[in-house]
Amino acid sequence: MEITEKLEAFLKEAESGIKNADSLKSLHDLRIKYLGRKSEITAILKDLGSLSPEQRPRIGKAANEVKMKIDEYLKNRNEELSNETFDTIGDKEKIDITEPGVKKETGHLHPITQMRMEVEDIFTSMGFTIATGPEVELDYYNFEALNIPRDHPARDMQDTIWTTQGSLLRTHTSPVQIRTMEKSKPPIRVIVPGRVFRYEETDASHEHTFYQVEGLMIDKDISVSNLIAVMKTMLNAVFRREVKVRLRPGYFPFVEPGFELDINCRICGGKGCTVCKQSGWVELLPCGLVHPNVLKAGNIKPDQYSGFAFGMGLDRLVMMRYGIDDIRLFHSGNLRFLEQF
């Protein structure tokens, strides 16, 4: 078969194959087959040098014309297939914009963590700083420096978890009061949020592991009126309204005088429930003026400085805000409960 006949047969084959191409990918494969480096048309053009001088111009011209026609066929079919793709894309990838979307599940902070961060913001806005301390504590900082010696009956009020080495899991965040006074000089304004531990049975309002925030202010001429003002400012900000409170005498070795600050139970509205033990009030915030012995333990002279201290449960703050009637829910692992926050 002469070269011109080969070119005509090659052109017809290419035209038929390109016309029947049903996708852009198959069309790309045909381009390589008919115009690529290993294609028949490329081989013919490479062999032009072996032809006679009379054949060379005629065959070269014919081969280039075939090459140009095939390229034209490919471009036309490419345009047709591209148009078909866009014409049918609406049916293949149709989106109903009125259909509800799929909600992406994201994690979030635990409600107690959210409350801790909010309380920190409230107190820092009043000029307080934030301090931390160890959860495994020494007897000295947890008891003795807080005016609770080994033979003091107040130790019976603390259900303590002891380690075999003689240290303990802190029963309150108050030890950081002493550590702060040892490192800082008055005036002092500090809060201490953190986890504490008690060796006791759990019920709707008590847990063996819970969270507190301790507060300490020391300066000259600090009085009970300063304590009440700070506490009311904090509670009103947390509950976002005027909170009904009562202050009654309370005994705590590290303060003198000591008080119990109660808030009207938000679970029952003061009518009485299991959380408030049918009293209508929830014990929220033990507080008082710092005992002189505690100031001395922190290397601060009680004849020059005075201060107040308080400690409250972050768990109970969350319970009061959202009307939660069982503290055990926070650590139950119940995601249906936690996802509400």
Cα–Cα distance for residue pair 172/182, rounded to 1 Å: 18
Question: Are 181 and 61 within one domain?
Answer: no
Residue 104 domain flag:
no
Q: Both 160 and 86 in a single domain?
A: no
In a domain, 105, yes or no: no
* DSSP state, residue 186: S
106 lies in a domain? no
Residues 136 and 52 in one domain: no
Cα separation of 317 and 283, whole Å? Answer: 11
Q: Cα-atom radius of gyration of the chain, to the nearest Å? A: 41
- Specify the CATH number for the domain of residue 198: 3.30.930.10
What confidence tens digit (pLDDT) does each residue in 136-172 have? 999 999 999 999 888 877 676 668 889 999 899 999 9
Instruction: Identify the pLDDT of residue 87.
Output: 67
87 and 117 in one domain? Answer: no
Whether 196 and 312 map to the same domain: the answer is yes
Q: Are residues 8 and 146 in the same domain?
A: no
Report how many domains make up the chain: 2
Q: 97 in a domain, yes or no? A: no
Do 115 and 68 sit in the same domain of this protein?
no
Q: What is the pLDDT of residue 142?
A: 92
pLDDT, position 181: 95
In a domain, 150, yes or no: yes
Q: What's the pLDDT tens digit per position in 273-324?
A: 877 788 888 777 889 999 999 999 999 999 999 999 999 889 888 888 888 8
- Kindly state the tokens that stand for 67: 């090459």
Q: Are residues 215 and 302 in the same domain?
A: yes
**pLDDT bucket at 215, cuts 50 / 70 / 90:** very high
Q: How confident is the model at residue 243 (pLDDT cuts 50, 70, 90)?
A: confident
For the record, the structure tokens of 138 come out as: 């020494």
Closest CA to 218 of 122, 124, 299, 134: 299
Cβ proximity of 63 and 40 under 8 Å? no
Q: Which domain holds residue 279?
A: 111-338
Evaluate whether residue 100 is within a structural domain.
no
Choose the final residue of a domain: 60, 92, 124: 92
- Joined together, the tokens standing for residue 302 give 């009680």
Whether residues 82 and 128 fall in one domain = no
Cβ neighbour number for residue 303 with a 10 Å cutoff: 7
Residue type, 311: G
Same domain, 82 and 117: no
Structure tokens at 123: 């107190």
Instruction: State whether 326 and 217 are in the same domain.
Output: yes
Q: Do 257 and 207 fall into the same domain?
A: yes
pLDDT at position 141: 94
CA angle 244, 246, 197 (to 5 degrees): 100
Tell me whether residue 103 is in a domain: no
In a domain, residue 101? The reply is no
Band of pLDDT at residue 90, cut at 50, 70 and 90: low
Task: Show Cβ contacts of residue 6 under 8 Å, excluding neighbours closer than 6 positions.
Answer: 40, 44
Give this prediction's pTM.
0.65
Q: How do residues 17-52 score in pLDDT, each as one tens digit?
A: 888 888 888 888 888 887 787 777 777 777 766 777
